[in-house]
Structure 1
Amino acid sequence: MSAPQQISTPERRIDLDWVRILAFGLLIFYHVGMLYVSWGFHIKSEHRLTWLEPVMLVLNPWRLSLLFLVSGVASRFMLGKFLGKYRLAAFARARSARLLIPLIFGMLVIVPPQSYLQIVESLGYPAGFADFYLQHYLAFSSQFCPNPCIVQPTWNHLWFIVYLWVYTIALVGVLSLWPAAADWIGERLAAALAGPWLLVLPCLLFAAWRLFLSPIFPSTHALFGDWYNHADYATAFLIGFLLAREDGIWRDIERQRWMALMIAAACFAVFILIYAGLFPRSPMLRWFAGSAYGCYQWVAMAAVLGFARRHLTADGPVRRYLTDAIFPYYIVHQTAIIMIAHALRGSGLSAGSEAAVVISATALTCVVSYEIARRVAWLRPLFGLRTVPRSVAGIAQQQPA
Structure 2
Amino acid sequence: MLDNRRYDIDWLRVIAIGLLVIYHIAIGFQPWGVFLGFIQNSETVEWIWTPMAMLNVWRIPLLFFVSGMGVYFAIQRRDWKALLIERTKRILVPYIFGLLAIVPLHVWIWKNYYHQDMEFALSPMHLWFLGNIFVYVLIFTPLFFYLKKHPNGKFQQIMSKLLSHPAGLLLLMIPFVAEAELLHPDSFEYYAMNAHGFWIGMLAFLTGFLCVYSGQAFWSTVTRWRWLMLAIAATLYTLRLLEGEFIAPLYLKSIESNLWIFTVFGFGHRYLNKPSGALTYLSQSAYPIYILHMIFLYLASWLLFPLDMPAPFKLALVILLTFIGCFAAYELVVRRIRFVRPLFGLKV
- Provide TM-score, normalisation by structure 2: 0.90
CA RMSD in angstroms comes to 2.3
SS at match of 2:312: helix
- Structure 1 residues 183, 74: CA separation in 2 closer, same or farther (over 3 Å shift)? farther
Instruction: For residue 381 of structure 1, report the CA deviation from its aligned partner.
Output: 0.2
The answer to whether the 8 Å contact 2:93/2:345 transfers is yes
After superposition, where does 1:147-296 map in structure 2 within 5 Å? 152-175=121-144, 180=149, 185-215=155-185, 219=190, 221-222=192-193, 226-245=194-213, 246-276=215-245, 289-296=249-256
- Structure 1 residues 239, 177: CA separation in 2 closer, same or farther (over 3 Å shift)? closer
Instruction: For residue 175 of structure 1, report the CA deviation from its aligned partner.
Output: 4.7
Ranges in structure 1 where 5+ consecutive residues have no aligned partner: 1-8, 127-131, 138-151, 278-285, 388-401
Instruction: Pick one of 119, 122, 125 that aligns with 2:116.
Output: 125
Q: 1:282 maps to which residue?
A: none
Give me the whole-angstrom Cα distance separating, in 2, the residues matched to 1:178 and 1:360: 45
Counterpart of 1:196, as a letter, is P
Counterpart of 2:341, as a letter, is R
SS at match of 2:273: coil
- Structure 1 residues 220, 247: CA separation in 2 closer, same or farther (over 3 Å shift)? closer
Q: Which moved more, 1:357-366 or 1:195-204?
A: 195-204
Q: 2:13 maps to which residue?
A: 20
After superposition, where does 1:1-400 map in structure 2 within 5 Å? 11-39=4-32, 40-42=35-37, 43-82=39-78, 87-122=79-114, 124-125=115-116, 132=118, 136-137=119-120, 152-175=121-144, 180=149, 185-215=155-185, 219=190, 221-222=192-193, 226-245=194-213, 246-276=215-245, 289-371=249-331, 372-387=333-348
Counterpart of 1:230, as a letter, is F
- Structure 1 residues 220, 182: CA separation in 2 closer, same or farther (over 3 Å shift)? farther
Give me the whole-angstrom Cα distance separating, in 2, the residues matched to 1:80 and 1:384: 20
Counterpart of 1:244, as a letter, is V
The answer to whether the 8 Å contact 1:66/1:301 transfers is yes
- How far does the alpha carbon of each residue in 1:352-385 deviate from its partner, in whole angstroms, 9 at most, with x for none? 2211221111111111111121111101101110
Counterpart of 2:21, as a letter, is I
Instruction: For residue 191 of structure 1, report the CA deviation from its aligned partner.
Output: 2.6
Instruction: For residue 351 of structure 1, report the CA deviation from its aligned partner.
Output: 0.8
Over the matched positions of the two proteins, sequence identity in percent amounts to 28
Counterpart of 1:111, as a letter, is V
Q: 1:397 maps to which residue?
A: none
- Structure 1 residues 177, 242: CA separation in 2 closer, same or farther (over 3 Å shift)? closer
Give me the whole-angstrom Cα distance separating, in 1, the residues matched to 2:138 and 2:170: 29
Q: Which moved more, 1:168-177 or 1:261-270?
A: 168-177
Give me the whole-angstrom Cα distance separating, in 2, the residues matched to 1:291 and 1:320: 38
- How far does the alpha carbon of each residue in 1:114-158 deviate from its partner, in whole angstroms, 9 at most, with x for none? 222333445x226xxxxx3xxx33xxxxxxxxxxxxxx1111101
SS at match of 1:37: coil
SS at match of 2:92: helix
Give me the whole-angstrom Cα distance separating, in 2, the residues matched to 1:154 and 1:345: 26
Instruction: For residue 271 of structure 1, report the CA deviation from its aligned partner.
Output: 2.7
- How far does the alpha carbon of each residue in 1:164-188 deviate from its partner, in whole angstroms, 9 at most, with x for none? 1111111124457887578654443
Bigger proportion of residues as helix? 2
Give me the whole-angstrom Cα distance separating, in 2, the residues matched to 1:65 and 1:350: 34
SS at match of 1:153: coil
Q: Which moved more, 1:252-261 or 1:309-318?
A: 309-318
Give me the whole-angstrom Cα distance separating, in 1, the residues matched to 2:146 and 2:275: 38
Instruction: For residue 97 of structure 1, report the CA deviation from its aligned partner.
Output: 1.2
- Structure 1 residues 206, 175: CA separation in 2 closer, same or farther (over 3 Å shift)? closer
Structure with higher Rg: it is: 1
The answer to whether the 8 Å contact 1:110/1:332 transfers is yes
SS at match of 1:46: coil
